[in-house]
Amino acid sequence: MRRNKKERQALLVTTIKETPFITDEDLAEKFSVSVQTIRLDRLELSIPELRERIKNVAEKTFDDEVKSLPLDEVIGEIIDMELDHAAISIFEVKEEHAFKRNGIARGHYLFAQANSLAVALINDDFALTAKANIHFTRSVKLGERIIAKAKVVNIDTETGRTYVEVKSFVNAELVFVGEFEMYRVKK
């Protein structure tokens, strides 16, 4: 159902407040308008693009919480975190992250997203990856958005090791699995 501009913009504000990580493409589909119309509406309403919305939420929410590394060293944008328990980040594959000849994302970016999320999840002043077992289940392509979900599976206080499992998805499809053994040190 097409709406007039005023109605559409009011619904746009409400929709973005309820789901701040919705893409312009999804909004265009939802309101039966072009992506360009959504971008113009956002501009007129001073609503930042998705990447900026994610960054703003992460900075407000997690800047004081993450101890083991600065937020700007995390690959991807953290959108949810409970230290020593679970975390979620989003990473959008851009041209600089993919091979030019085939548009497939370079694997080290998927690994870096998962690894930096595992480090950020540690509730100590300093954490390093001691060991990682990783598996790529399918290629990720230019323009796809990777959602990495990390969860702590065990904390061994005797050895100072934390075991973190990270699963990365594009839409609902599993694309990467990593098991990380993290060394934690209190300063």
Domain layout of the chain by residue ranges = 5-47, 63-185
Instruction: Report which residue type is found at 84.
Output: D
* Residue 155: alpha-carbon gap to chain centroid: 24
For residues 92 and 82, give the distance between their C-alpha atoms in angstroms, rounded to a whole number: 22
Neighbours of 126 (CB within 10 A): 14
What's the pLDDT tens digit per position in 101-155?
999 999 999 999 999 999 988 888 788 899 999 999 999 999 999 999 999 999 9
> What CATH number does the domain located at 63-185 have?
3.10.129.10
Q: Is 12 in contact with 42 (CB distance < 8 Å)?
A: yes
Tell me what the pLDDT averaged over the chain comes to: 86
Q: Which top CATH class is 5-47?
A: mainly alpha
- pTM value? 0.67
Q: Is 27 in contact with 40 (CB distance < 8 Å)?
A: no
